[in-house]
Structure 1
Amino acid sequence: MTDMKEITVASALQLHKGSHIENDLLLLDALAALPLPEEPRRMGCLLLALCTSGTARYTVDTIQHVVRPKDIIIISPGQVTDDYDLSEDCNGIGLMLSDRFFRESISGIHELSSLFLFSKNHPVCELRPEEVEMLSNYFHLLKQKVDNSDHHFRVETVKSLLQTLIYDISNAIYRIQNSEKHKHSRSEKIFFDYIELVERNFRHERRVGWYAAQLNITAKYLSESVKAISRRTPNAWIDYYVTLEMRVMLKNTAKSIKEIANELHFSNQSFMGKYFKEHVGMSPSQYRKT
């Protein structure tokens, strides 16, 4: 059995030569022009899209979703999409971000993560008219900046704009998350409370039992709830935040690897190096050079 193919910025660029920055960012000004795969595909990047006309049906992780005008679509890396069915007048705009480019754009703002996690189980949400206009304006401004290849700070300007865009999208998600239509199940509440705890404490606490105790539940119940909502174990989420922080510090600070190990409460630099290589596939010093 062959591995499932991924949808990445690079693979999309082979089909749509739109405004882009290498294999990290692609702006899609006509979603209807993209040929749809005829088999399940795993997302190897983040997709943010806005439906502007018509309707569409598709599945994310086997669950069917219906998209209508004013709906925002957020599909995260690792999720599987399939069973596409678009009306003849369906169209929209969107952008695709490599995981690396997304991480670099939001470095230092972990508190947005729990909002984007909400979208993993609610990948289609209806925006207000003013939010639709806001998203459209961001898209056109991003396109203008991406296309200006003579701008000396082109990439930095685009990252700054993306960070502002993500703040505004997260504000819309926060509103939707707390609306009457989206009351949390018990498992969802445990999951979001767990993620908030991890975001505050991952630098010095990596024991699942400790987090379970803070939530007044057993480690087993925490594991079952987190896996039911996110399809990841509690340990996997801790590893995600720790390695994300390592990546950000290695790329965006001049701190030595030993200083980073101390700041993240590893027993020594060697242990941190083994941990990083296990989860990222290369040593911290190799990653810093990439």
Structure 2
Amino acid sequence: MQQTLLNKSFSEKNHEEALSQNDGLMAKIHNSNDPGYCGSEPFRMSSYALILITKGKLNIRINFVDHVINQRDILLVLPHSIYEITDNSSVSFISIHFNKSYLKNKGVFFSSGETYRMAKDIQSHKFSLSKEDYTFIYYDMLALHKKLNVSKDTPHIKNIVHNSFLELLYDIFLLKNKQKDSVPIAHNSRSELTNRFLALVSENFKKEKRVIYYANCLRITPRHLSQVVKQVTDRTAGEIIDEMVIREAKLLLTSHVMNISEVAIALHFSNSSFFGKYFKKQTGITPSEYKLSNNIAV
């Protein structure tokens, strides 16, 4: 029961249910003049979102690191990362939410390697638009928002909505590519291997923290796995495993749902002492110190 409460907060559950009821795609307009328009509690969505700042600036904490998203900035919210809006008093924005199922059903994919690289570098999934480009994307989003509010009984509306979504998505990709801020991951054997590794880790990191386990699953040596993963992500296989474990540990420690012993059990450490040593080695502080200095509820 505790784990269920932790993994899916009430607001997150409502968000996922709303997405499901809307075939995995939603659009929202958030206006700073509307009371309670934007919550300040930390959240972790399983879906993607595109956020375009239309007024003011958004102070947001992503995976416990503070960022400022300014007017005419666009941000891609990645699934399973931890977000906390620290100041929403003077910001308005429009957001498009879509889940993996919607992308998969429509034949659109973000590879695991691309998602990991975006998650590591805030600049790769946040960028500023010129006035001309901002107007272009803003009206793309408004058009999609309007079409999503058309009656579902309207003939061909699903195809109309999907085409509008694709137009927005590819317009953003074109603008991002024009700015030349990111280097695309080559679709070769190294990136394919890395994607398989990242998918395995995301599913098994709580139980399996050894590189050799993932190397055996992929039928290669641990050394070769780490070399390939580092070439693609700039992190070794072991560093990626540790990052995922620590990110989850931080979320559990700040949840007020579990104590340190329960967190150790949830992450499959043999005991809380071993978990404490592991956590301090990775972060420089003990779980107790971290818990005391991060009093947020998820």
Deviations 1:160-205 (A, max 9, x none): 22122211212233344x34xx7x8xxxx9xx458884459989xx
Q: Which residue of 1 aligns with 2:24?
A: 24
For 1:25-40, what aligned pairs fall within 5 Å after superposition? 25-32=25-32, 33=34, 35-40=37-42
TM-score in terms of structure 2 length: 0.56
Aligned CA distance change for structure 1 residues 59 and 138 (closer, same or farther; 3 Å): same
Partner of 1:218: 227
User: Which residue pairs with 1:156 in the alignment?
Assistant: 159
Measured in 2, the distance between the counterparts of 1:196 and 1:207 equals: 13
Question: Does the CA-based 8 Å contact 1:197-1:211 persist in structure 2?
Answer: no
Question: In 2 relative to 1, CA 39–139 (structure 1 residues): closer, same or farther, beyond 3 Å?
Answer: closer
How far apart, in 2, do the equivalents of 1:228 and 1:83 lie?
28
1:92 corresponding residue in structure 2: 93
For structure 1, which runs of at least 5 residues remain unmatched after alignment?
A: 234-290
- Structure 1 CA distance for aligned equivalents of residues 67 and 137 of structure 2: 21
Structure 1 letter corresponding to 2:59: R
Q: How does 1:1-290 map to 2 (within 5 A)?
A: 2-6=5-9, 8=12, 10-11=14-15, 22=22, 24-32=24-32, 33=34, 35-88=37-90, 90-105=91-106, 107=107, 109-110=108-109, 118-120=117-119, 121-122=121-122, 123-149=125-151, 150-176=153-179, 178-179=180-181, 192=185, 197-198=190-191, 207=218, 209=220, 218=227, 221=230, 224-225=235-236
Q: Which has the higher contact order (CA 8 A, sep 6+)?
A: 2
**AA aligned opposite 1:77:** P
Q: Distance in 1 between matches of 2:110 and 2:24?
A: 23
Question: Given that residues 115 and 174 in structure 1 are in contact (C-alpha distance below 8 angstroms), is that contact kept between their aligned partners in structure 2?
Answer: no
Amino acid at match of 2:104: R
Look up the SS of the partner of 2:135 in the other structure: helix
Which amino acid in structure 2 is aligned with residue 157 of structure 1? I
CA contact (8 A) 1:9 1:25 kept: no
Aligned mates of 1:54, 1:92 — CA distance in 2 = 9
**Percent of aligned positions with the same letter in both sequences?**
16
Give the whole-Å Cα distance in 2 for the aligned partners of 1:195 and 1:211: 20
TM-score (norm 1): 0.57
Question: Is this contact kept in 1: 2:23–2:102, CA < 8 A?
Answer: no
How has the CA–CA distance of structure 1 residues 160 and 201 changed in structure 2, closer, same or farther, with 3 Å as cutoff? farther
Gaps of 5+ in 2: 197-216, 246-298
Shift of 1:136: 1.4
Alpha-carbon distance in structure 2 between the residues aligned to 1:140 and 1:75: 19
Q: Specify the alignment match of 1:248 in structure 2.
A: none
1:1-44 Cα distance to aligned partner (Å, 9 max, x none):
65143565843887xxxx99626222112253454444321112
Q: Root-mean-square deviation (CA), in Å?
A: 4.2
Give the secondary structure class of the aligned counterpart of 1:95.
Answer: strand
Q: Read off the aligned partner of 1:102 and give its amino acid letter.
A: L
Cα contact 1:46–1:76 (8 A) shared by 2: yes
Question: What amino acid does structure 2 have at the position aligned with 1:30?
Answer: H
Write the letter of the residue equivalent to 2:147.
K
Contact 1:226–1:232 (CA under 8 A) maintained in structure 2: no
Do the aligned residues in 2 keep the contact of 1:43 with 1:77 (CA within 8 Å)? yes
Match of 1:287 in 2: none
Between the two proteins, the alignment pairs up a number of residues equal to: 212
Amino acid in structure 2 at the alignment position of 1:103: K
Letter in 1 for 2:82: V
1:164 partner letter: E
Per the alignment, in what secondary structure is the counterpart of residue 50 of structure 1?
strand
In the superposition, relative to structure 1, how do residues 227 and 43 fare at CA in structure 2: closer, same or farther (>3 Å)? Answer: farther
Distance 1:232 1:219, change over 3 A: farther
Contact 1:25–1:97 (8 Å) recurs in 2 = yes
Give secondary structure in 1 for the equivalent of 2:80: coil
Asked whether the 8 Å contact 1:114–1:195 carries over to 2, the reply is no
